[in-house]
Structure 1
């Protein structure tokens, strides 16, 4: 199903303050409202390389920093590494894109108050020669099988990132054991930018999030050969992002108040509008997900969770 570019809920209008739920008890200046003083504090955000490489975070973080007089220290890693940093207590909030890893993080007690944030999609890109003849395929599994059967070079991030996690899922869906790839499978063990540059050098295929590809495509020789659902491609290439506060019960030194302020801002009307309007060469890179006429309340808990899973105490 085609994903339409979403408009904001008109009813929100000028009521931007409602999007700052969790922020209303905070003061950026003198704390006269009775809330905790946060001016001068630092929020550590661990996130994916895609949100950093596209430049989106610079646009999102500046208004938040100005409003509260704080600093957002962004640490860009793969999703797995970002969550591991948070598990160690070295992060206050996590913005990632691998729901299975997010669910594990929450189930293990390290994350709390997860929110859907935004989405884009994954695309399979490659050189113009397209030796596996996958151009315009509407089936990701067929495309990957064609790449494997022809032993055409494929570059993998290999870094336990959200993109790498999705890639492994796609190989499994295609019935191909990722442990038995031959020499045609190149593992770079790095970020999305590194994988795209390497694939361009090798005239190879790779899986990329659309946002990073669009932000780099003028400097590489790769083309989109298999589209994701944003452009009528298979739903298996959907790429949702979530944001999760680190649980202060797991690490009592984390800046939970500031993390909630940030989550409130980034999922509220102002943050969502910045996401909606952020483009590269007139191409929208991400699509806001937090504001919805039909909210998905299951977003707050791991997929498949029920009250009986913890004795009904939640």
Structure 2
């Protein structure tokens, strides 16, 4: 379970301040699971008058919601898919906001020896060689796309009884891994904010291939005239402000920083 994250977010979704403008934003489950939304959303509403309603899904589904015009903006973490989204005219632009990294988590005893690997692809190869249980999100999310990229770099197409694709978000996948004492590829923020760690431990980190960039994409009003382009622009301006930088850089769990601010100038 995550520390009251969804309870607090639900309260924010339901409590509409008088005169507040609502904006729908599709975000990844990893962003929601991190707990950062609980910090940012009240400040966004206080400073801009915008009540951000989050639709929490995987990156692939978030981009589909944007393509259909069901949201006003998207905050996701899969650069190639985001660039294709912009190229197709679904967003006016892509703006990088913050980043963290992915980690390899697994049984504290590390039966595959992943902790001693020299790279993320080597860690994955060791897990496959040992046929050690591995839980994949399997949901076309940004995390899933990044995981598949690591397997490809190792020259492996993961398959077999040892490889469990659950088709769920980060929290549910972590719960499954904890229950199975299995390896899993996760974003650092979700892992740090995850309560049910059971016998799991962070085993591998630090490879540049594990870099995890989040970007903001306003849905294109030329394609969907009903989207709230002005509110999306105001939210973007807030997300790249000094106020947002301080909140993002200052957000920690157990003394560890979960995100780094790197908003691009435009």
Q: Which runs of 4+ in 1 moved over 3 A?
A: 217-220
Indicate yes or no: 2:189 matched with 1:205.
Answer: no
* Number of positions where the alignment pairs a residue of Structure 1 with one of Structure 2: 249
1:157 to 107, 112, 137: 137
Alignment of 1:8-19 (within 5 A): none
1:237 to 187, 210, 213: 210
Alignment of 1:44-83 (within 5 A): 44-83=24-63
2: CA distance between counterparts of 1:159 and 1:114?
23
Alignment match, 2:121: 141
Greater displacement, 63-72 / 182-191? 63-72
Where 2:24 maps in the other structure, the secondary structure is strand
Where 2:65 maps in the other structure, the secondary structure is helix
1:221 to 195, 199, 203: 199
Structure 2 unaligned regions, length at least 5: 1-17
Where 2:100 maps in the other structure, the secondary structure is strand
1: CA distance between counterparts of 2:251 and 2:199?
24
Task: Report how far residue 218 of structure 1 moved.
Answer: 5.9
1: CA distance between counterparts of 2:261 and 2:86?
23
2: CA distance between counterparts of 1:71 and 1:169?
36
2: CA distance between counterparts of 1:65 and 1:114?
23
Alignment match, 1:304: none
Structure 1 unaligned regions, length at least 5: 1-37, 228-232, 298-314
1: CA distance between counterparts of 2:218 and 2:118?
37
* Conservation of the 8 A alpha-carbon contact between 2:178 and 2:196: no
1: CA distance between counterparts of 2:207 and 2:49?
43
> TM (normalized to structure 1)?
0.77
Task: Report how far residue 113 of structure 1 moved.
Answer: 2.8
1: CA distance between counterparts of 2:106 and 2:259?
22
2:93 to 113, 122, 139: 113
Alignment match, 1:194: 172
1:277-311 deviations in whole A, cap 9, x for unaligned? 011122111111116xxx5x7xxxxxxxxxxxxxx
1: CA distance between counterparts of 2:236 and 2:49?
16
1:78-128 deviations in whole A, cap 9, x for unaligned? 000111111111110110000011011101100113211100000000011
Greater displacement, 239-248 / 54-63? 54-63
Query: Greater CA radius of gyration, 1 or 2?
Result: 1
Where 2:129 maps in the other structure, the secondary structure is helix
Alignment match, 1:10: none
Alignment match, 2:108: 128
1: CA distance between counterparts of 2:245 and 2:94?
16
**Root mean square deviation, CA, Å:** 1.5
Alignment of 1:37-48 (within 5 A): 39-48=19-28
* Conservation of the 8 A alpha-carbon contact between 1:137 and 1:225: no
